[in-house]
């Protein structure tokens, strides 16, 4: 048998090896594929937060925030927000529908491109009032200036407001 092997034509041996390699490679080259659909959905995000605790504005007497007789001002609160929607606004409201004393709020020192501050808002009727307009897809911040006022005709007393800030569509 060895003798027959040695008498084989070298071309025949190479052809046989080549056919074996091609057959093996065609078995390895059988590809399989599949498809998957991936849908991305980005939902609207509106987030709002405050830095600063409860405030006490003291009018008259020798209270800490008293600026002059009849008014008191505080600028220690910072408002922060993020929105990925266009044409939003930030509104502000008090829980007191008929306040005895005057409470005003104004957005100051807005971060660049964060929107446009409305003039000072007087919280008079428990309804939302526009504080910042034109909030676009961005994060923003501002300082809140609170001013309390009372004249002699309002007398003496205490009033506690729960202030609500809301990002909403224009």
Could you read off the pLDDT tens digit of each residue along the chain, which spans 170 residues?
Answer: 455 555 556 666 566 655 565 555 556 668 899 999 999 999 999 999 999 989 999 998 655 554 445 899 999 999 999 999 999 999 999 999 999 999 999 999 999 888 999 999 999 899 999 999 999 898 999 999 999 999 888 889 999 999 999 999 87
Integer Cα distance of 65 and 68 in angstroms: 9
Integer Cα distance of 89 and 10 in angstroms: 87
pLDDT reported for residue 138? 87
Integer Cα distance of 126 and 123 in angstroms: 7
Cβ-contact 66, 72 below 8 angstroms: yes
pLDDT reported for residue 9? 61
Query: Which sequence spans correspond to the domains of the chain?
Result: 46-169
Closest CA to 77 of 154, 161, 149, 135: 161
pTM of the model: 0.74
Cβ-contact 167, 139 below 8 angstroms: no
- Coil, strand, or helix at residue 144? strand
pLDDT reported for residue 61? 65
Phi, psi angles (nearest 5°) of residue 3: -65, -40
Q: What are residue 144's DSSP bridge partners? A: 77, 107
Integer Cα distance of 84 and 170 in angstroms: 14
């Amino acid at each position: 048998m060895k003798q027959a092997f040695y008498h084989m034509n070298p071309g025949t041996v190479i052809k046989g090896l080549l056919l074996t390699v091609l057959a093996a490679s065609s078995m390895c080259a059988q590809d399989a594929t599949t498809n998957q659909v991936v849908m991305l959905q980005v939902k609207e995000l509106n987030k709002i937060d405050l830095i600063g605790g409860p405030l006490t504005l003291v009018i008259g007497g020798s209270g800490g925030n008293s600026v002059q007789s009849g008014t008191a001002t505080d600028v220690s609160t910072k408002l922060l927000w993020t929105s990925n929607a266009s044409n939003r606004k930030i509104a502000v409201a008090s829980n007191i529908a008929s306040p005895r004393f005057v409470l005003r709020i104004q957005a100051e020192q807005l971060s660049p491109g964060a929107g446009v501050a409305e003039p000072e808002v007087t919280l008079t009727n428990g309804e939302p009032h526009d504080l910042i307009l034109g909030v676009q897809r961005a994060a923003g911040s501002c300082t809140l200036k609170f001013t309390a006022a009372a004249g002699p005709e309002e007398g003496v007393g205490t009033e506690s407001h729960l202030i609500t800030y809301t990002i909403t569509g224009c």
